[in-house]
Amino acid sequence: MMESVERFLSESGKSMKRSAIREILKVLEKPGMISFAGGLPAPETFPVGDLREIVLDVLENEGAEALQYSTTEGDTLLRRMLVERHNSQGLNIGIENLIITTGSQQALDLVTKIFIDPGDYVLCGLPSYLGGLNTFTSYGANLKGIILDKSGMKTDVLEETIIELKESGQTIKFIYVIPDFQNPAGITTSENRRLGILEIAAKYDLLVVEDSPYREISFSGRTQRLMYDLDTSGRVITLSTFSKIFAPGFRVGWIIGDPAILERIVMAKQTADLCTSAFVQKILARYLQKGLLEKNLEKTINLYSQRCSYMIECLGKYMPENVTWTEPEGGLFLFVTLPENLDTEEILKKAVEKNVAFVAGSPFFCNEVRGRNTMRINFSFSDNSEIEEGVRRLSQVINEEITGK
């Protein structure tokens, strides 16, 4: 066995980190564990019966094409179905504005690959999605966090930060935003803030990467306009996925953007995986054609809304008074803040001993200073009995830390 691989690693290879989220998922193997850690959709929402019929249909009628390589841009029918769906929701795009990716995580990787040189800056929310932060740093990006409030990224802080970086000679490439039911904070960016971010991006000639995996999981059924829809200059790149609204095992996402940008992303994808699985794309196209996504999505939203409400009720019932949490209107997560003197990474170790898990908040903060007293909790995966028992166990651990008993 090789003693050390370090001497062979590239700078990119050296900068890569294990995901704190993927690592904590290993605790699921422990008997009796209640996990609020992963961003896992509820298995009850997976349309196994419908898919069984569609898979057989695709194999019988399109078997040769489904098992062959596909174009890098993606299956034409699936792209057209997605374009039609977006346009029915208010966009005005053509098939040239949309390509398929192997999950939205690949989309993040490809966008970073084509735009980031080592030393470039990415501006992101404080806190922000760990998978995005790790991707950016793996390509040598410097990260600068912009504080969030209940309406989203604070635009005054965003502009002040841009001015400071530019005056010091730094290069900023894009602003990374998760505007709907943000991971991990669970907040939604208001339309005024979206417009403000776009105005600042245009003023300083920056791109905006809009990560939108949760938008359609809106408990009220109402959705904000995509930043891509509000943009008038072609600088927004929108990333979406079927993982949270259908099934993560399919690993299918898509990117909406200016054709000139998408052409570069296609080139990058050709060096990554050549194409996304033709088989799963054709299954998804049939699923959309039959109108089954809307039916299943409605069931998913109702389930997650109920679980979120019950988790908030349990937090109010069991948590100490000086613990607070966000109350999201959609998505999969809420964010808990403890007294400032507590460290959730230490609390996690004790929580796992009591068979309950979460994700400590500090990895979501790119400055590695803030967030040590925060945690992200997932409400979509556990049923009501697990939610109550898990919150009860977690509250007990936190109360012991606060009281020292």
* Co-location of 262 and 361 in the same domain: no
* Co-location of 14 and 135 in the same domain: no
* Co-location of 136 and 268 in the same domain: yes
Listed in order, strand segments (DSSP E) in 250-386 are 253-256, 324-325, 333-337, 356-357, 359-360, 374-378
User: pLDDT value at position 9?
Assistant: 76
* Co-location of 141 and 274 in the same domain: yes
* Co-location of 42 and 93 in the same domain: no
* Co-location of 243 and 306 in the same domain: no
pLDDT exceeding 70 applies to what percent of the chain? Answer: 96
For residue 138, what are the domain limits? 60-291
Reported as a single tens digit per residue, the pLDDT across 181-233 is 999 999 999 999 999 999 999 999 999 999 999 999 999 988 899 999 999 99
Q: Is residue 163 part of a domain?
A: yes
User: pLDDT value at position 395?
Assistant: 97
Which of 291, 320, 341 is the last residue in one of the domains? 291
Domains contained in the chain, number? 2
Strand order, beta sheet including 359-360? 324-325, 333-337, 374-378, 359-360
Q: How confident is the model at residue 11 (pLDDT cuts 50, 70, 90)?
A: confident
CB of 121 closer than 8 Å to CB of 141:
yes
Q: Is residue 1 part of a domain?
A: no
User: pLDDT value at position 52?
Assistant: 95
Q: Is residue 55 part of a domain?
A: no
* Co-location of 241 and 335 in the same domain: no
Reported as a single tens digit per residue, the pLDDT across 39-52 is 899 999 999 999 99
Beta bridge partners of residue 63, listed in sequence order: none
Which of 291, 324, 359 is the last residue in one of the domains? 291
Q: How confident is the model at residue 13 (pLDDT cuts 50, 70, 90)?
A: confident
* Co-location of 100 and 157 in the same domain: yes
Q: How confident is the model at residue 21 (pLDDT cuts 50, 70, 90)?
A: low
User: pLDDT value at position 244?
Assistant: 95
Q: Is the pLDDT of residue 23 over 70?
A: no
User: pLDDT value at position 8?
Assistant: 74
DSSP 116: P
CA distances from 153 to 102, 127, 148, 403 (A): 28, 10, 4, 34
Q: Is residue 332 part of a domain?
A: yes
Q: Give the CATH number, domain containing residue 109.
A: 3.40.640.10
* Co-location of 89 and 204 in the same domain: yes
Reported as a single tens digit per residue, the pLDDT across 102-140 is 999 999 999 999 999 999 999 999 999 999 999 999 999
Q: Is residue 271 part of a domain?
A: yes
Q: Is the pLDDT of residue 287 over 90?
A: yes
In this predicted structure, which of 33-37, 173-177, 308-312 has the lowest mean pLDDT? 33-37
Which of 291, 307, 329 is the last residue in one of the domains? 291
* Co-location of 224 and 153 in the same domain: yes
Q: Is residue 52 part of a domain?
A: no
CB of 271 closer than 8 Å to CB of 96:
no
Q: Is residue 53 part of a domain?
A: no
Reported as a single tens digit per residue, the pLDDT across 231-279 is 999 999 999 999 999 999 999 999 999 999 999 999 999 999 999 999 9
Beta bridge partners of residue 146, listed in sequence order: 125
Q: Is residue 371 part of a domain?
A: yes
